[in-house]
Structure 1
Amino acid sequence: MESALKIFSIDAMILVQGVGNLSREHLTGWKNQSAKIAVIHPDTESAEKEARKLNGVIDFEFTAEESPGKKKKQPAEILKKVIEESRVSPKKAALVSEDPGFISGARRMGLALVIGIRQQIPGRRNLYDRGAHLVLERLEDISVYRGGDTECSFTQNLPNVFTDLNKFETPFSDRKPVFFLDYDGTLAPIVRDPSSAFLPEQTRVLLKSLARLYTVAVVSGRDMDDIKQFIGLDQLIYAGSHGFRISGPGGLYMEHEKARTLLSELDRFEQHLRKTVGKEIDGVEVERKYFAIAVHYRNAPPKTLDRIREEADHLIGCNSDFKKGRGKKILEIKPSLEWHKGKAVEWILKKLDYSDPEQYIPVYIGDDVTDEDAFRTLSDDGIGILVGTHSIPSAAHYQLRDVEQVNKFLHYMVHSA
């Protein structure tokens, strides 16, 4: 059974750049859900060819060339014209396109949802790098539902790993998997007190067995030493603070050099947050990580986040060395560096000489919005598995329902090897 993940609601205008993969049924289905449809043809010949399919279905029609045989307009110019003539705000519009130029142009214009279509896996990461919120193999993987007189909800459908194990396992026939897993919400249930997020013994046994067969890494926003203590298995690789600090068997070790220079400033931020939101708001917990500060507000009153943001903005100010990050009921202050869980995964693969996509296939499993960096990084040459759901489009290929089903997956991988 596929799990639906609601990702956006907009007063919908759907811009379709190229309609080669769209059936009339697709367009009619979207139209029936209150969506206005604008189609951008690559040229006049394509517009004439698709005329019968589009008749009576679309609201606006444009071509990318000035006139037959003339030079094509730039994507940004075309998108601007579409938005102006349709009189729809970019913040209430979505784009579906295979073209990297239109993807990046739509993001610069601030469209609410930008969907890339890529039927072949190589090239998906390029569309993500260009700014796509979501890259799909098939348009069937996203649904449009009416949510009011003018509102449409876009729902992403991710297949569960166990719905088609044969398809999931196909890449393993000639490539060896390398496993990367988040901790909270993936290996251990999310709990009210972060210091009590203990690893179930059954999961520890499965990880130990899996590590006898394959390379296994845990990639977490938690501090690396905390993760080591929770899991207690020397065979694993540990990447803490979203990968700013990594250690593993055989002397594997890395600390992000630039991030080290910011530790004293993080000390100052920590003291300030403990004296302000840490004391002023019941239920708020300030956690110092090696390369970040996390403010947990799961147990705090509603609307606490606004106050925490205010203090974080005050601390960071115009300091470009730091940025805010979000997780599940967490706000973080961390180094504003081009480094994240996806970069950490790439570093580990390269360091262990596992970067050859013809020999190894990385499998990343996580539940948090911060895991999306890893999913996007592996969108061409790996497998991303989202645990549960979250509030943004996911670059994962598959889904597992919850921590219990992650355990079932680990058990399957151990006993099917």
Structure 2
Amino acid sequence: MTKHAGFSSDEAVAAVVAPPPTGLHFSPFPPPTKAAARDCKKLAAVHVDITAPMAGSWFESMKDSSPRHAADAEHGDWMEKHPSALKWFEAALGAAKGKQIVMFLDYDGTLSPIVEDPDRAVMSEEMRDAVRRLAEHFPTAIVSGRCRDKVFNFVKLTELYYAGSHGMDIEGPAKQQSKHVKASCPRKHVADRWSHASLQAEEEEAVVQYQAGSEFLPIIEEVYHTLTAKMESIPGAMVENNKYCLSVHFRCVQEEEWNAVEEEVRSVLKEYPGLKLTHGRKVSIWDKGKALEFLLKSLGYAGRSDVFPIYIGDDRTDEDAFKVLRSIGQGIGILVTKFPKETAASYSLRDPAEVKEFLCKMAKANQGDGAAEKMLT
């Protein structure tokens, strides 16, 4: 659950995001079918009308902004459908035998605990060590709603891939920093095939990068300062700059002041028709699922039957990635939660402590088998 990115009703956050770039070329991936192309255009067209009024109050819809508790499902029944990835470790990883595992990890609520102050969501040294050891064996990416630089400052591991702002800002390690970087894809090929994407080659080092909506950065910065000044009069409210989107946190605001927060935000956005107010999940067609696809393709793993992606996250935005894994019929999604929730994930873990245990178990299971890219061979 990302406390900072405006997705959880428990965390009470609203987000201001930039719309997709002009020309509807927001996603760097060509649709695989004509039907998919039509769906993509339809989705993009919906978001072109960025000034359309929202139905109802953003506070009324906060209940839909994180994975909902399954209405009538008993915990035992839910666990049968989404068993513990720790208790069923061998079964969960059974399909990964002899395949390339690629790891995708959410940050808040997955690698770090949920805290009231998003700037204090620090991961433990034990978790950092677990992620470091994991990355020694498998390509590993952090996918977060936070600004990419902020996530990096929390994790501080240069050998990882970082996808910030829900995948709108992606950067991977240089070739010499990670043995998993695939530099076989020429820079020109990437530039021709993927709009807004680049594979930079400097001194024979390859760096995977993706940035979208850069033209909105000055506007977002201006709105950030304006909103910050407005929120000073409301105790408990705070604004976070996630580079490509802003998050207005009001978890610590008295409920009777919630409408005041909404009114202040809307009053500011009247002057910026190029931005859109959202509650809960991000609205644009670029999401964590697209980020997962982009990274798999950048690494040279897309379309390969010998690849096994594993995505671990706790937030509704992670559902986009879980759904991608189901759609391609590869890998597994693992939801981090203590309660039954509607999810496309196959397995579950209760909290960051169990995530750490799972990561350590993966790294340990892969030691000494002579093939760092394989698992349980």
Structure 1 length-normalised TM? 0.58
Partner residue of 2:142?
218
The aligned amino acid for 1:370 is: T
Say whether 1:267 aligns with 2:221. yes
Partner of 1:120: none
Secondary structure of the corresponding residue to residue 161 of structure 1? coil
1:284 aligns with 2:210: no
Q: Which ranges in structure 2 are unaligned for 5 or more consecutive residues?
A: 1-38, 40-66, 175-205, 367-377
Q: In the alignment, which residue of structure 1 is the partner of 2:24?
A: none
Identify which of structures 1 and 2 has the higher relative contact order when contacts are C-alpha pairs closer than 8 Å and 6+ apart: 2
2:112, 2:122 within 8 Å by CA — same for their partners in 1? yes
Which amino acid is 1:383 matched to? Answer: I
> How do 1:295-334 and structure 2 match up within 5 A?
295-302=248-255, 304-316=257-269, 319=273, 321-326=275-280
Given the alignment, which residue of 181, 194, 207 partners 1:252?
A: 207
- The partner residue of 1:165 within 89, 96, 102 is 89
Identify which of 354, 361, 366 aligns with 2:313.
366
Q: How does 1:169-184 map to 2 (within 5 A)?
A: 169-184=93-108
Contact 1:297 / 1:304 at 8 angstroms: preserved in 2?
A: no
Q: Distance in 1 between matches of 2:106 and 2:219?
A: 27
User: In structure 1, what is the Cα distance between the partners aligned to 2:302 and 2:207?
Assistant: 16
CA distance in 1, matches of 2:91, 2:260: 47
Aligned to 1:331: none
- The one-letter code of the counterpart of 2:106 is D
What is aligned with 1:349? 296
Report the AA paired with residue 310 of structure 2: V
CA distance in 2, matches of 1:415, 1:387: 21
In 1, distance between residues paired with 2:124 and 2:217? Answer: 33
Higher mean displacement: 154-163 or 218-227: 154-163
Q: How does 1:82-101 map to 2 (within 5 A)?
A: none
Report the CA distance shift for 1:240/1:341 in structure 2 as closer, same or farther (over 3 A): same
What is the alpha-carbon distance in structure 2 between the residues aligned to residue 223 and residue 273 of structure 1? 18
User: How far does the alpha carbon of each residue in 1:299-348 deviate from its partner, in whole angstroms, 9 at most, with x for none?
Assistant: 22235544433444444459465341427xxxxxx7x5310111111101
**Quick check: 1:205 aligned with 2:129?**
yes
Query: Which stretch shows the higher mean deviation, 311-320 or 219-228?
Result: 311-320
Distance 1:315 1:339, change over 3 A: farther
Counterpart Cα distance in 1 of 2:255 and 2:130: 38
1:233 counterpart (138, 154, 157):
157
Structure 1 residues 178 and 209: CA distance shift in structure 2, 3 A: same
Q: Is the 8 A contact 2:99 2:306 kept in 1?
A: yes
Contact 2:338–2:351, Cα closer than 8 Å, also in 1: no
Q: Is the 8 A contact 1:367 1:389 kept in 2?
A: no
Does the 8 Å contact 2:78/2:340 carry over to 1? no
Which amino acid counterpart does residue 265 of structure 1 have in structure 2? I
Give the letter aligned to residue 209 of structure 1: R
1:269 is displaced (CA, Å) by 2.1
Q: Please tell me whether the aligned partners of residues 334 and 349 of structure 2 are also in contact (alpha carbons under 8 angstroms).
A: yes
CA distance in 2, matches of 1:297, 1:244: 24
2-structure distance, mates of 1:235, 1:305:
41
Between the aligned partners of 1:273 and 1:254, the Cα distance in structure 2 is 30
Q: Quick one: structure 1 residues 155 and 314, their matched pair in 2 at CA, closer, same or farther if it must change by over 3 Å?
A: farther
Shift in Å, 1:254: 2.7
Letter in 2 for 1:324: T
User: Are the structure 2 counterparts of residues 218 and 291 from structure 1 closer, same or farther at C-alpha, using a change threshold of 3 Å?
Assistant: same
SS at match of 1:204: helix
| Corresponding residue SS for 2:348 | strand
- Backbone CA RMSD of aligned residues: 2.9
Counterpart residue number, 1:97? none
CA-CA distance at 1:392 after TM superposition: 5.9
Distance 1:288 1:364 in 2: 25
Is the Cα contact below 8 Å between 1:245 and 1:255 reproduced in 2? yes
Larger displacement relative to structure 2 (405-414 or 244-253):
244-253
Conserved in 2, the CA contact under 8 Å of 1:363 and 1:382?
Answer: yes
Q: Give the whole-Å Cα distance in 2 for the aligned partners of 1:252 and 1:389.
A: 37
Give the CA deviation at 1:181.
Answer: 0.4
Task: State the distance in 1 between where 2:249 and 2:93 align.
Answer: 38
Closer, same or farther in 2 for the Cα pair 1:310/1:385, shift >3 Å?
A: farther
Answer whether contact 1:239 1:245 (CA < 8 A) is retained: yes
AA aligned opposite 1:285:
M
Aligned residues: 263
Shift of 1:280: 2.0
The runs of at least 4 aligned residues of structure 1 exceeding 6 Å deviation read none
- Once the two structures are TM-superposed, the CA of residue 375 in structure 1 deviates from its matched residue by 1.2
